[in-house]
């Protein structure tokens, strides 16, 4: 319920910002008391036009009912395509979180994954069609795993803080790609003189359309669904998943119970990096690539950091991540139409996304806004006058049995 109310609050604040950004509407405030209807009517038109365009661009446009199937399913297809890399990223961050680590290196890991996938895509063109695509996808996963594994190894064996290491490795990957690799003869596209763009991937390596050539969704969506099932199974059914949760809850207790904490930390970052590498695959070989499936310096598109937001909003649960990704994907897909039809800056979408996370992170604030009287009556004390416990909105309450005890 708090999450739903947080989204509602973010939309309300977004509506206020939409009104404030329209100078014509704000000019009507000068004679508000003389004719309040003018301002209220104009404000309502601004808000309804913006949010209706957002809905039409993300979910469904009633005007397309009599159109082609491509027009009818186009908005939801765009939402799914935007959500796909966010699902991979959210799952990647969640795996690291559940192991007690904060993986801020998604940007670097997806870049390395994209480099591996791109190289296989444009150089191994002698491979048969399906095999070429599979090898390119696996190469992207391996690239991300290797870069994430470095962080896990440094954390486990040398005690390096993963936040510092991942931030620095982000810069290394970004500068390595744009400052050197794309200018080498191996990667640089001779047809793009003066531009840091790689050779395009072969057609056999490109991820095929999922719902037809006219819809903006590729087979990467199926990979994302499969990854979600795999991560959910991993946490609930696998021995390593159990050990990851144990280490994340209390490393000292896990170590006492005989769990190899170092091995778990390295494995968690390998998995996290591999999932990030899949973002690199979709960005390079998927329909989201605007450069004819070529590698460019801005291939990450901020997805490495957006993944953190998605993971937090989804509370590091696999299916919660899917829901958060669909929400953010819908906002991105609808934001483009909102900007063209309603003349509202797409930056409003970024603000709304940030507000959602802020409100989810502050559940007591949300409860106070929507349950003001109940909050005033509540003294914050439990039975016997003891202070009620503080709830961390991002903390996952788990009880797991370790060596006959509970943690």
Report the CATH number at residue 254. 1.10.3470
Secondary-structure breakdown of the chain: helix, strand, coil percentages, each rounded to the nearest 5: 70, 0, 30
Q: What is the pLDDT of residue 401?
A: 53
Residue 331, in any domain of the structure: no
Question: pTM of the predicted model, to two decimals?
Answer: 0.88
Q: Write out residues in the chain with pLDDT < 70, as ranges.
A: 371-407
Burial 187-226 (b: 16+ CB within 10 A, else e): bbbeebeeebbbbbbbebbbbeebbeeebbbbbbbebbee
Decide: helix, strand or coil at residue 251: helix
In sequence order, the β-bridge partners of residue 198 are 188
Decide: helix, strand or coil at residue 200: coil
Contacts of 15 (CB under 8 A, 6+ apart): 47, 50, 51
Decide: helix, strand or coil at residue 102: coil
Helices (H), 238-317: 239-249, 251-256, 261-285, 303-313
Structural domain boundaries, residue 274: 69-321
Cα dihedral value 257, 262, 265, 266, nearest 10: -140
Residue 296, in any domain of the structure: yes
Query: How far is Cα 148 from Cα 137, in angstroms, rounded to an integer?
Result: 17
Q: What phi-psi label fits residue 21: left (phi over 0), alpha (psi between -120 and 50 degrees) or beta?
A: alpha
State the DSSP code for 388: P
Contacts of 337 (CB under 8 A, 6+ apart): 53, 54, 56, 57, 58
Residue 198, in any domain of the structure: yes
Q: What is the pLDDT of residue 372?
A: 46
Q: What is the pLDDT of residue 398?
A: 56
Query: How far is Cα 87 from Cα 221, in angstroms, rounded to an integer?
Result: 9
Residue 372, in any domain of the structure: no
Residues in the chain: 407
Q: What is the pLDDT of residue 230?
A: 98
Q: Is the dihedral of CA 251, 399, 2, 370 positive or negative?
A: negative
Residue 28, in any domain of the structure: no
Are the CB atoms for 199 and 292 separated by under 8 Å? no
Instruction: Give the chain's domain count.
Output: 1
Q: What is the pLDDT of residue 404?
A: 46
Q: What is the pLDDT of residue 399?
A: 52
Query: How far is Cα 59 from Cα 79, in angstroms, rounded to an integer?
Result: 7
Residue 4, in any domain of the structure: no
Residue 11, in any domain of the structure: no
Residue 85, in any domain of the structure: yes
Q: What is the largest CA-CA distance in the chain?
A: 76
Q: What phi-psi label fits residue 398: left (phi over 0), alpha (psi between -120 and 50 degrees) or beta?
A: beta
Contacts of 133 (CB under 8 A, 6+ apart): 204, 205, 206, 207, 208, 285
Helical (H) or strand (E) element with 401 = strand 401-402
Q: What is the pLDDT of residue 402?
A: 52
Of the CA atoms within 13 Å of residue 398, those in its CB half-sphere come to: 22
Of the CA atoms within 13 Å of residue 209, those in its CB half-sphere come to: 10
Query: How far is Cα 107 from Cα 299, in angstroms, rounded to an integer?
Result: 9
Q: What is the pLDDT of residue 317?
A: 95
């Amino acid at each position: 319920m708090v999450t739903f109310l947080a989204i509602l609050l973010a939309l309300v604040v977004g509506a206020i910002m939409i009104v404030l950004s329209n100078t014509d509407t704000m000019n009507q405030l000068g004679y508000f008391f003389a004719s309040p209807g003018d301002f209220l009517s104009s404000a309502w038109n601004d808000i309804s036009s913006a949010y209706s365009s957002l809905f039409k661009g993300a979910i469904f446009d009633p005007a397309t009912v009599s159109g082609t199937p491509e027009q009818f399913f186009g908005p939801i297809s765009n939402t799914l395509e935007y959500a796909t890399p966010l699902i991979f990223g959210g799952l990647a961050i969640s795996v690291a979180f559940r192991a007690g680590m904060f993986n801020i290196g998604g940007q670097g890991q997806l870049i390395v994954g994209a480099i591996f996938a791109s190289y296989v895509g444009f150089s191994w063109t002698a491979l048969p069609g399906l095999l070429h695509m599979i090898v390119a996808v696996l190469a992207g996963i391996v690239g991300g795993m290797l870069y994430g594994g470095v962080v896990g190894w440094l954390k486990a064996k040398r005690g390096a803080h993963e936040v510092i290491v991942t931030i620095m490795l982000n810069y290394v990957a970004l500068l390595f790609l744009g400052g050197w690799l794309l200018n080498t003869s191996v990667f640089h596209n001779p047809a793009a003189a003066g531009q840091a763009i790689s050779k395009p991937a072969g057609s056999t390596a490109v991820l095929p359309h999922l719902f037809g050539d006219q819809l903006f969704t590729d087979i990467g969506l199926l990979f994302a669904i499969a990854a979600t099932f795999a991560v959910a199974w991993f946490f609930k059914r696998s021995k390593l998943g159990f050990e990851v949760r144990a280490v994340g809850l209390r490393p000292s207790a896990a170590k006492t119970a005989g769990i190899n904490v170092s091995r778990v930390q390295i494995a968690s970052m390998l998995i996290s990096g591999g999932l990030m590498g899949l973002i690199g695959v979709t960005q390079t070989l998927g329909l989201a690539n605007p450069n004819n499936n070529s590698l460019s310096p801005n291939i990450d598109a901020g997805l490495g950091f957006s993944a953190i937001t998605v993971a937090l909003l989804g509370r590091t649960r696999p299916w919660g991540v899917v829901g958060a990704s669909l929400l953010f994907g819908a906002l991105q897909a609808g934001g483009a139409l909102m900007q063209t039809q309603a003349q509202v800056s797409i930056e409003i979408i970024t603000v709304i996304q940030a507000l959602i996370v802020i409100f989810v992170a502050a559940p007591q604030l949300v409860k106070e806004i929507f349950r003001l009287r109940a909050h005033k009556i509540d003294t914050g004390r439990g039975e016997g006058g003891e202070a009620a416990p503080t709830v961390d909105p991002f903390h996952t309450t788990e009880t797991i049995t370790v060596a006959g005890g509970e943690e």
